[in-house]
Amino acid sequence: MQQPGTTRDRALVIGASGGIGGALASALERRGHEVRRLSRTGDGLDLLDEPSIEQAARGLPGEFRLILVATGALTIAGRGPEKTIMELSQESMQDQLLLNAVGPALVFKHFHHLLPRRGRSVLAVLSARVGSIGDNRLGGWISYRTAKAALNQVVRTTAIELARIRRDAICVALHPGTVATALSQPWLGRHAAVSPQESAQHLIEVIDQLERGDSGGFFAWDGQPICW
């Protein structure tokens, strides 16, 4: 990131009402960045409603060096992740794809022009390691996994296209780790989880280290690349 406190240093967090999104926005503010927070509850930006996304983007003045998309859900309309494919329903997969893949794709569509034409900038979205096809050894969670895998393809495609119009922009998918938030809470069981603040700190360090050649990649909270 550029020097804190300058207009070149503005950051936008979409999904800032969430556990990780809120922690990312606060951590960036503490570092001196000028942060614009957007969310469904705060601003009516609903990822299931393209006009609301377009309107939110149109209402923003100026450019952002960093755009973070921290929206998402694991349980939608009362349907949590499936234990086996026998629990799959058409609705659960549709809902997952719409929110976790199509929604961020529409955000990219309507917000990417807010990245500066010149100089380093980052467009990052929170994906999940379980969206990795190569890393899948357990099965289960078929709709969420599928939606995150689709999101990763959205990132890869956007990165390639973005390079043609924003030469220095970096577009990546990030895995925040297992983080104690409303999203994960019902499914954590005895799994260890870090706080949103700790995850945000790691993610910002990863973002700081990203180079142009990393665009189109998928990275974990510790900076390690994750296979597709």
User: Is residue 48 close enough to count as binding ligand NAP by CB under 6 A?
Assistant: yes
Which of 179, 200, 204, 226 touches ligand NAP by CB under 6 A?
179
Provide Rg for the chain, Cα atoms: 17
73: Cβ–Cβ under 8 A, 6 or more apart, which residues? 99, 100, 183
Please give the single-letter amino acid code of residue 187.
W
Q: How is residue 75 written in tokens?
A: 């349980």
Q: How is residue 186 written in tokens?
A: 């019902």
User: Is residue 182 close enough to count as binding ligand NAP by CB under 6 A?
Assistant: yes
Per rule CB under 6 A, count of chain residues that contact ligand NAP = 28
Please give the single-letter amino acid code of residue 175.
H
User: Is residue 73 close enough to count as binding ligand NAP by CB under 6 A?
Assistant: yes
User: Is residue 18 close enough to count as binding ligand NAP by CB under 6 A?
Assistant: yes
Q: How is residue 220 written in tokens?
A: 């974990």
DSSP-assigned letter for residue 153: H
Q: How far is the CB of 117 from ligand NAP (least distance, A)?
A: 28
Residues 166 and 112: their CA atoms lie apart, in Å, by 9
Residue 140: count other Cβ atoms within 10 Å of its Cβ.
14
Which range touches ligand NAP (CB under 6 A), out of 66-74, 80-88, 159-167, 201-209? 66-74
Which of 1, 9, 21, 81 touches ligand NAP by CB under 6 A?
21
User: Is residue 178 close enough to count as binding ligand NAP by CB under 6 A?
Assistant: yes
Q: How far is the CB of 41 from ligand NAP (least distance, A)?
A: 3
Binding site for ligand NAP (CB under 6 A): 15, 17-21, 39-41, 45-48, 70-73, 99, 126, 128, 175-176, 178-179, 181-184
